[in-house]
Amino acid sequence: ETGVTQTPRHLVMGMTNKKSLKCEQHLGHNAMYWYKQSAKKPLELMFVYNFKEQTENNSVPSRFSPECPNSSHLFLHLHTLQPEDSALYLCASSQDQGQGYLHFGNGTRLTVT
């Protein structure tokens, strides 16, 4: 496989559930990102990892918890979410945080009921 792969593509979860989103990149990049995309809003940066170190937490609520075990894998752990957290969650990677451009995965469409 090439590029950036996200699973699952769609997720429906209740407010009391715990779930995880997974992202894997096969591009040899060193930076990985989580973005949230809601209707009529710009892409919102959530977290950045550069060489496995978290370099950005954009004031994201603690019900979202990222994990980056290595430069190729990124997870977003979800618990006790709210309906307003329903959105498209996009993973991206770049050569590193200061170089290259963002390569996006296909996204996970999350619905919180």
Q: Which residues bind another protein (CB under 8 A)?
A: 33, 40-43, 45, 48, 50, 55-56, 90, 94, 97-98, 101-107
Closest separation in Å from C-beta 43 to another protein? 4
Q: Which residues contact 42 (CB under 8 A, 6 or more apart)?
A: none
Contact between 41 and 88 under an 8 Å Cβ cutoff? The reply is: no
Closest separation in Å from C-beta 97 to another protein? 5
Q: What whole-number distance in Å separates Cα of residue 113 and Cα of residue 58? A: 25
Using the minimum distance from each CB to another protein, give the nearer residue, 66 or 107.
107
Using the minimum distance from each CB to another protein, give the nearer residue, 80 or 104.
104
Amino acid at 49: Y
Closest separation in Å from C-beta 64 to another protein? 18
Q: Helix, strand or coil for residue 112? A: strand
Q: What whole-number distance in Å separates Cα of residue 77 and Cα of residue 63? A: 8
Handedness of CA 42, 43, 48, 51 (dihedral sign): negative
Using the minimum distance from each CB to another protein, give the nearer residue, 75 or 104.
104
Using the minimum distance from each CB to another protein, give the nearer residue, 42 or 83.
42
Closest separation in Å from C-beta 84 to another protein? 18
